[in-house]
Structures are given as structure tokens and as C-alpha cells.
Amino acid sequence: MVAFANAFCGGPFYHRRMSEVLEQEAQAGAEHARKYTRNNPYHSNVNVNYLLTAEGSEKETRHVELSLEDGMTYTPGDAVGIIPENRIAAVEDVLKALGYKGDERVLDHYKVEISLEEALRTRLGIGKLSRGSVGQFAKLAPEVEGLKVLTGPDNRARAEEYCWGREFVDLATDFPGIITDPQQLFHVLQRLTPRMYSISSSQKVHPDSVHTTVRVIRYEAHGRDRQGVASGHIGDRADEGTQMPIFLHSNNNFRLPEDSSAPVIMIGPGTGIAPFRAFLEERQADGAKGPNWLFFGEQRSKLDFLYQQQLEGMVKDGTLTHLHTAFSRDQHNKVYVQDRIQENAKEVFEWLERGAYFYVCGDATRMAKDVENALLDAIAKGSNGTLEHAAEYLAAMKKQKRYQRDVY
């Protein structure tokens, strides 16, 4: 057998066979990675979970590292889906409002019999209240006037006002006795869905784990302390050594340029920094020759400069050509990333003319629009053209996939 192998080593048979083996291994790896989904997650170990923001910050932002099984792969720009559980205190509040103990038996979405407590903790979305849930709840008691005024197209604004800052426990408390059978909750409440977080690591640097950057949401509304379902889980109940169900989600619309020599401009305020940490680690690992420019913004430099040491290290070693920061509360007049773009409009346009790719990640409601307006102004000024011409320029960039956004 050894003689046979040696006789063909390096010959056409050997190369053909090896290519077949490699192809089969690649297919097996892809199938292996695909087997973990939102309905069949991988139970990952929480390897690292620490606070990125300093004491005194108005924000609680955490860096989380989750283990991966062999064969699970991701690309910078992808997301990790995290499947949270509702906190026990919130579940107990709902049970109390409904008048149940929690040991009642129900059938979940897959007709599997479980306890009501488990259903409320792991299957049903008892957090942020939706108009859809109010509408389904109202169908159980069409005669209740207080619910009638929250349903129908004519009452949409009133329903949205009622839902703001409220959770299902508020609805169940305001209108007691409506749920007469625990199984009804599966028609009233939405499923407890995974939360998608941008991946903040390169697998070339961290082969056995996936990193993400999470802002923990906590607030008070209508007399109750609230928290984000997934972010609260990560902030309070995902200590190092515990497990979290996860899966990887591909995002082919947010990718580094195939040409590693192309310039890259990244706009990532707050947790929008996440995919750009991954981009920079990947470019660094690849030895990419293309210049990199990052705009990062937060409230205060001493409290909220996420990944400061790593980013400043990348400036020193040449990975980051430019690092422009905008800390809005460090001076009397608030300064944001879009202001830094305008201040550097001439060079931004020069980079675009050299074929730069422009990426934006973060808040869709205001930041992304303000950044786009600043970009259009930079194009108009740089080209001595009108805003109409700048819009055409930007449209061409979109077609070339040189303007990509991951906003939420």
C-alpha cells in the first residue's frame, strides 16, 4: 500500500484524487456549518464577556466571545444569531398577572408538550409589546371597550402610543381575566426570536470563536424596570463558562472588496464599530495593502472609546491609515461622525476617486441618513458638482458595491 501511494505521489491521479477529497471536505464543512440554524442552534460556551465602557458611562457596552464547533465558519460582515431566554423575574410577573402557577401544560409551536413556565421563558416573546399582540388579545374579549379603542386601522396611533415602553405583563395587568386558557398565549404572543449581532472578529485571527459587541439596553417605563431581552440576558445571565444557543448568519451584501489593495472607509459609531473591527483584523491578517480609514463616534472619549487600545495599535502598525473620532459630549457643541466626514470632505472624495469602498454600520433612523448627506456633500464639493450629480455618483458606487450599509 505504501509503495502504491509513493508510486502515484505527485502524479495526475494523486492530484485528481486530492482535489476530490478537498472538495468533499469543503462540502462537508459547509453542510456542518449549515446544520446549526435558529431552529437547531449550537450551544456555545461563553468564553469571554466583559464591559467595554468605563464606570460612569451612560452606556453599558460589552465584548462577548463565543466558542465555535469545528466546521462552523463565518466571514467579516456576517452576523451571529443569539437565542435568549426571558428573565425569570419577568416570567414570574406574567404568571402572576395571568393567575397561573407555571406548571400548567401547553403545546409549543412544534406541538411539543412543555410547562407554561418554560413556554414563557424560552418560546414566547413577553418583552416589547406589539400592536399585533394587542389585536389578538382583543379578539378574546371583543366586548371590552378599553381593548376596542386599541384595535382597527382607525386606532393605529392610539395602539402604538399604548404599546410604547410596555410589555405583555402590562397588557395582562391592565385587562385581567382575558386569558382563560394558557394555550391562548401562542395565538396572542409572537415567538421569542433570535437577535442578530454583527460579528466583530476575523476567524483568521480567532479560529475557534466568534466575537460580538453588545449594547445592554436598560430603562424604566410605566413604573417598571425594563431591559432588552437578548442584551439583558448577555448583561446579566451570560457569565463566562455558561452556554448560549447561537447560529451564524451570512450577509453577502456587506463584504470587504475582493481587491485587497482597494481603499476602505468605515463609518461605525457606537456598536457600529463591530463589523469594522472584523474588517480590520481580516485586512491585517491578510497583509492587505489597501489603506483603511475609520470614523468612530460615541459620547465620551474617557468612558466610551470602544477597543481604543487595539485601534490605536492598528494606527501605530499602519493597519489604520486614519482614525477619526467624534465624542459628542466632550465639548459644548456636539460633534458626530458626519461632522468629521464634512471636515475631511476633500480627502474623502480623493479616496473615492481612487476606488475606495464606503461602509456604514449602526443606527438607521438618523445616523445613516446624516452620514449619507455628509457623503453627498463631500462628493459635490470634491467634484465641483451639484447634489444631483453627487446622487448620480453615489448611485454608481452602489452598483459597483462600493457603498454598503448594515443599518438597523
In this predicted structure, the answer to whether residue 50 has a pLDDT above a threshold of 80 is yes
Give the mean pLDDT of 215-230.
96
Q: How many CB atoms lie within 10 A of CB 323?
A: 15
C-alpha cell at 338: 458626519
pLDDT band at 385 (very low <50, low <70, confident <90, very high): confident
pLDDT value of position 15? 36
The pLDDT of residue 396 is 98
Which residues does 393 contact at the CB level (< 8 Å), separation at least 6? Answer: 352, 379, 383, 385
Q: What percent of the chain has pLDDT over 70?
A: 92
CA distance 107 to 181: 12
Give the helix/strand (H/E) hosting 382. Answer: helix 367-382
pLDDT at 318: 97
Spell out the alpha helix ranges (H) of 223-331.
Answer: 229-237, 274-286, 301-304, 308-316
What is the percentage of the chain residues whose pLDDT exceeds 90? 91
- The pLDDT of residue 22 is above 50: no
Residue 87: predicted pLDDT: 97
Residue 98 has pLDDT above 60, yes or no: yes
pLDDT digits 0-9 by tens, 164-174 = 999 999 999 99
54 falls in which pLDDT band (50, 70, 90)?
very high
Choice among 21-35, 72-86, 361-375, 390-404 with the minimum mean pLDDT: 21-35
| Rounded Cα–Cα distance for residues 129 and 141 (Å) | 18
Gap between the Cα atoms of 267 and 348, Å rounded: 12
Asked if residues 256 and 401 have their Cβ atoms less than 8 Å apart, the reply is no
Residue 27 confidence (pLDDT) above 70: no
Q: What is the pLDDT of residues 320-329, one digit of tens each?
A: 999 999 999 9
Q: List pLDDT tens digits, range 253-304.
A: 999 999 999 999 999 999 999 999 999 999 999 999 999 999 999 999 999 9
Confidence label for 34 from pLDDT (cuts 50, 70 and 90): low
Question: Lowest mean pLDDT: which of 230-234, 246-250, 284-288, 382-386?
Answer: 382-386
Mean pLDDT of the chain: 92
Q: What is the pLDDT of residues 172-222, one digit of tens each?
A: 999 999 999 999 999 999 999 999 999 999 999 999 999 999 999 999 999
| Mean pLDDT for the stretch of residues 383-401 | 96
Assign 157 a pLDDT band (cuts: 50, 70, 90).
very high
Per-residue model confidence (pLDDT) at position 35? 84
Statement: the pTM of the whole predicted model exceeds 0.85: yes
**Mean pLDDT score, 298-317:** 98
Q: Which domains does the chain have, with CATH numbers?
A: 36-83+200-249 (2.40.30.10), 88-188 (1.20.990.10), 264-407 (3.40.50.80)
